[in-house]
Structure 1
């Protein structure tokens, strides 16, 4: 159990005092601006440099013998719509900071549907410490990444083992962490004390602002309408978000097809007995491509791998194929990947029950004005900035969104903040959304670009670096 670090107020960082020289220079510039009676450009108030809080080692959390009591007097009650990665992370971040919340999910239980396959924690591998997770039980660390032609020729290699020239699978330096999406989701829900915290079977119908500045929400539960109230509504309900549809509408920022389909599968290593291949050492990520089809294979757990095959296809054909079921998807995948070992063996050994596929979509980037339509509502994760899976950033950004929003609520709604008078948008949401949109914009763009270049000759560019980096160098 965890509670907020009092030294940094849960931020994980502390501010250094501005130097006397910086303060004097700003004051002089401000005095000069006032003398011009507002003509010209006002000087920007300098911000103090931040440094890691040593008391909590940058997590913003400290061990506690019990959960913090929800501070209903000072903090807003947050209605979180969607108990996927982003929603569960926001709930955990609120719990640790004493922010009252209710977590709603339309599914009837945790295992009602597949929550995707594997994900790779990049920036978020450190951020999850701010959610109370300091060690992932099922996380697998990769230390080597290879790119092949279909004949098996290596055209790119990077990772710790490339640079240190060692046979060791692991190193002291932590790199990308691979984990099953459901495993991470489970660890987040366990932070809450179990699944009972989730209001399962709650399908959001609509919500509206009340005269007392609260929000009334209507859910469909067991065929009946259930009403409830909250001070802040957060849509964490994915790429086809109900909250986004109610807040912004689908017509303004519709789903945008990225021109390709993805087929996913999970293969236990036990199904590959007799195949001795260094690519299957549970610490290697590899991809193979021909300029049209591309397969990416990574550790899913220490005893299985996940594969992701993608290729260009007209939208109608991609939709049709994805509805034909796992057998058709497996046959299509096998037909397209008669390549070097162990790719054909992995796909052949993958059970149909572990295969799915879907057309790849994202949405046009949001702007602050669209989000401002919701005085007391906002979006995080795929509901705010859906992106293609090819940069592995969807879950990372959702986790960062969740932690950032909880910290913003903790800071903007602290005692004596008068947030009820000024409104939660001005106190919290405007600044949070600005940071979120700025941070995620490049990830959305890069992920959309990857949907193009990974299925072109660029993917076979010779170089020991992630695919597409050669394009960045040309732009510079």
Structure 2
């Protein structure tokens, strides 16, 4: 990915495409005539059924904003409190800050509430891989990620070091080619991306830190009353729309639909994570440590995945099957026990033992892997002015690297929906924000993320089975799908 300086201090939506980044081509006379004939025929039949749906023109990137939906602005847009709903965002992780940024660019008033007392009070995960969201990130005014690292090769090994699969741009393209890769994955520390998003908002002060949501209720004045515990006291706030972006154990979700309907589902394995600086591996000569290669090693039970974390460090993720009770107990023992267990299980080919041995205990954590059954949109209709996004709506295992990607896509989709469905030309207060925005957003979000949740759950199984040892230059999931079809 070519890095471009984020020269503009502020952004606003592109009027040409209304912030969508794409425009629709006009329908041809032939298509319009065909649609009109179908409508006339339907009306003349005078029967019940579904009327013909008006065709949509093909979408193409907006040339004015280069597909980002944004154009530079001297000053940030002023929040339009008269026409747009005030959005209360619960949670200041990737998804929560992303929806705030997208609202800022559209003049949608918002407030972010976070239970943590500060930005770095606890770990916000390790590294993430931007896949579908690598293009969508431009829609948040981020045109370069200085801390991002692009990988161009993926290698799979047996524990003895035999290469059983390779793919990626370096595998398929000549080394002396001058044509840049069209599709690459960017790896970045979760906190680095989160900070880049916060900088779009002007810094950390925009977040209401130390606000633990207690409850909320819709009131007679058509607003939602929210109660937070802050420094041992209860503080109240009002909003027109509440967005739960507070993670897999979402308080908003629990208050909205309860915990018993779609409880956490244990996926049968534990993950141990660590970050190792390359400086601690200076005596190790390995092409796998070139900051552009992702590699994994497996034996049908344990599996380790190692990727560039920054230009001078790598992140590793070891996973293996374990009973839930045992996984909870190991996680609770802390980083020393987790490192000892990880090292014991990975006396494999170089440089894996060296990487784990050189990782400081402070940089190691571990947890049992959970997701939830797919959410049905009807469960969200109980509260007309509340919705969910990211892990609060569709938590998934980390094995497909989709959690942050889907949260970013959720955020931009919801903000665009609010901008379209609640502007001055609409009657959203009379119609209701659920009908104007939320129903369509949730249907799109849940449909888009459903396959990601399913594939991520399947990956938790097949990555710890003999399937992972299949010899073939393709991702393990691709082979499984071929085998099943």
Shared fold, TM over 0.5: yes
Task: Indicate conservation of the 8 Å contact 1:144/1:285, yes or no.
Answer: yes
SS at structure 2 position matched to 1:287:
strand
* 1:8 to 2:12 alignment: no
2:216 corresponds, among 168, 189, 207, to: 207
Q: Distance in 1 between matches of 2:228 and 2:57?
A: 45
Note closer, same or farther for the CA distance 1:323–1:217 as it changes in structure 2 (3 Å cut).
same
Note closer, same or farther for the CA distance 1:40–1:79 as it changes in structure 2 (3 Å cut).
closer
Please state how far the C-alpha of 1:167 moved relative to its aligned partner. 7.6
The equivalent residue for 1:243 is: 252
* 1:418 to 2:427 alignment: yes
CA RMSD of aligned residues (A): 1.2
The equivalent residue for 2:102 is: 93
* 1:361 to 2:374 alignment: no
SS at structure 1 position matched to 2:476:
coil
The equivalent residue for 2:305 is: 296
The equivalent residue for 2:480 is: 471
2:361 corresponds, among 326, 343, 352, to: 352
TM-score by length of structure 2 reads 0.97
Note closer, same or farther for the CA distance 1:87–1:343 as it changes in structure 2 (3 Å cut).
same
The equivalent residue for 1:58 is: 67
Note closer, same or farther for the CA distance 1:85–1:340 as it changes in structure 2 (3 Å cut).
same
Task: Indicate conservation of the 8 Å contact 2:169/2:181, yes or no.
Answer: no
- Superimposed CA distance per residue, residues 65-95 of structure 1 (whole angstroms, 9 cap, x where no aligned partner): 1100001111100000000000000000000
* 1:193 to 2:172 alignment: no
* 1:116 to 2:125 alignment: yes
**Pairwise mapping of residues 8-47 of structure 1 onto structure 2 (< 5 A)?**
8-47=17-56
Q: Distance in 1 between matches of 2:30 and 2:438?
A: 33
SS at structure 2 position matched to 1:193:
coil
Q: Distance in 2 between matches of 1:272 and 1:446?
A: 35
Task: Indicate conservation of the 8 Å contact 2:243/2:387, yes or no.
Answer: yes
- Superimposed CA distance per residue, residues 241-299 of structure 1 (whole angstroms, 9 cap, x where no aligned partner): 00000001000000000000000000000111211100000000000000000000000
Please state how far the C-alpha of 1:171 moved relative to its aligned partner. 4.2
Please state how far the C-alpha of 1:475 moved relative to its aligned partner. 3.2
SS at structure 2 position matched to 1:6:
coil
Q: Distance in 2 between matches of 1:396 and 1:422?
A: 32
Please state how far the C-alpha of 1:15 moved relative to its aligned partner. 1.3
**Pairwise mapping of residues 122-161 of structure 1 onto structure 2 (< 5 A)?**
122-161=131-170
Structure 1: gaps of 5 or more residues: none
Task: Indicate conservation of the 8 Å contact 1:13/1:51, yes or no.
Answer: yes
The equivalent residue for 1:277 is: 286
The equivalent residue for 1:323 is: 332
Please state how far the C-alpha of 1:470 moved relative to its aligned partner. 1.2
1:107 corresponds, among 111, 116, 122, to: 116
Q: Distance in 2 between matches of 1:309 and 1:169?
A: 36
The equivalent residue for 2:229 is: 220
Please state how far the C-alpha of 1:38 moved relative to its aligned partner. 3.1
Please state how far the C-alpha of 1:169 moved relative to its aligned partner. 13
The equivalent residue for 1:462 is: 471
TM-score by length of structure 1 reads 0.98
SS at structure 2 position matched to 1:183:
helix
The equivalent residue for 2:83 is: 74
Q: Distance in 2 between matches of 1:343 and 1:326?
A: 18
Q: Distance in 2 between matches of 1:140 and 1:416?
A: 43
The equivalent residue for 1:257 is: 266
The equivalent residue for 2:5 is: none
The equivalent residue for 2:349 is: 340
Structure 2: gaps of 5 or more residues: 1-9
Task: Indicate conservation of the 8 Å contact 2:11/2:141, yes or no.
Answer: yes
Please state how far the C-alpha of 1:48 moved relative to its aligned partner. 2.0
Please state how far the C-alpha of 1:432 moved relative to its aligned partner. 0.5
SS at structure 1 position matched to 2:48:
coil
Q: Distance in 2 between matches of 1:342 and 1:81?
A: 42
How many corresponding residue pairs? 476
Q: Distance in 2 between matches of 1:221 and 1:234?
A: 19
Note closer, same or farther for the CA distance 1:37–1:372 as it changes in structure 2 (3 Å cut).
same
Task: Indicate conservation of the 8 Å contact 2:271/2:318, yes or no.
Answer: yes
1:379 corresponds, among 365, 388, 398, to: 388
The equivalent residue for 1:445 is: 454
Please state how far the C-alpha of 1:349 moved relative to its aligned partner. 0.3
